[in-house]
Amino acid sequence: MSRGFLVSDHVADVRVRAWGLGFEEVFSEMSKGMWSVMFGEARIPALDKWNIEVTGADMEDLLVAFLNEQLALFDMEGLAVADIERIDIRPVKLGPGREGEEVLLDAAVSGAHVSQVQARVNLHIKAATFHGLRLTPTEAWITFDV
């Protein structure tokens, strides 16, 4: 398959391998993998749309920030992601008074409030970590703290 993800259960955490053609697909598949851990086989309906914007010092930092932003929105607003409809990743200059560049991710996602998902949380992911993180333009591994 050209894109997809695979979840593996470890003693104290969960690892997800995601693959695709380019960072955008890899990030998107990793996000799907994360939500499949959270809700198992239950389908998250695409009833609403919202945007996610995060920055990172590099691509690995950006991937972790993207996933943790989704977890924070779930924690605060109860928002669960069904699909990543669009991802743009581009370098940007650091803010005023700072020299250098960082990477910006701008995504449009669809999903629903947790109360609209016909299932309880399967496994609550608390954070995406840098532990054992591997990222190439076609593949990524992330360890999630659960």
Partner 1 sequence: MAINLKKVLGHECRWIMPKSGGMKVDGVIFATEEIINDLEGTKAIEQVRNVAYLPGILKASSAMPDIHEGYGFPIGGVAATDLNDGVVSPGGIGYDINCGVRLMVSNLTRDDVLKRQEDLVNNLFANIPTGVGKKGSIRLSRKQLEQVLEEGAGWAVRNGYGWDSDLEYCEENGCMDGADPAYVSDRARKRGSDALGTLGSGNHFIEVSYVEEIFDQEAAQVFGLFKDQAVFWVHSGSRGLGHQVCSDYLHVMRRAVSKYGISLPDRQLDCAPIASDEGKRYFAAMASAANYAWANRQILAHYVRESVRQTFGKSPESLGMYMLYDVAHNIGKLEEHIVDGVARKVLVHRKGATRAFGPGHPHVPEKYRQVGQPVLIPGDMGRASYVLKGTQAAMELSFGSACHGAGRALSRTQARRAITAEELREELARRGVFVRAATMKGLVEEAPDAYKDVSVVVEATHCAGLAQKVARVRPMGVIKG
Q: Are 34 and 66 in contact (CB under 8 A)?
A: no
Q: Which listed range, 23-31, 45-53, 74-82, 84-92, lies at the site for partner 1 (CB under 8 A)?
A: 74-82
Rule CB under 8 A: is residue 53 a binding residue for partner 1? no
Interface region with partner 1, contact rule CB under 8 A, candidates 18-26, 42-50, 103-111, 138-146: 138-146
50 touching partner 1, by CB under 8 A: no
Pairing mode of beta strands 4-9, 48-56:
unpaired
Cα distances from 65 to residues 9, 40, 41, 70, 85, in angstroms, run: 22, 23, 25, 9, 18
Among 56, 83, 106, 108, binds partner 1 (CB under 8 A): 56
**Residue span binding partner 1 (CB under 8 A) among the ranges 17-25, 41-49, 85-93, 121-129:** 121-129
Give the Cα separation of 105 and 23 in Å (integer). 11
Phi, psi of 69 (to 5 degrees): -65, -40
**Among residues 3 and 13, whose Cβ is nearest to partner 1?**
13
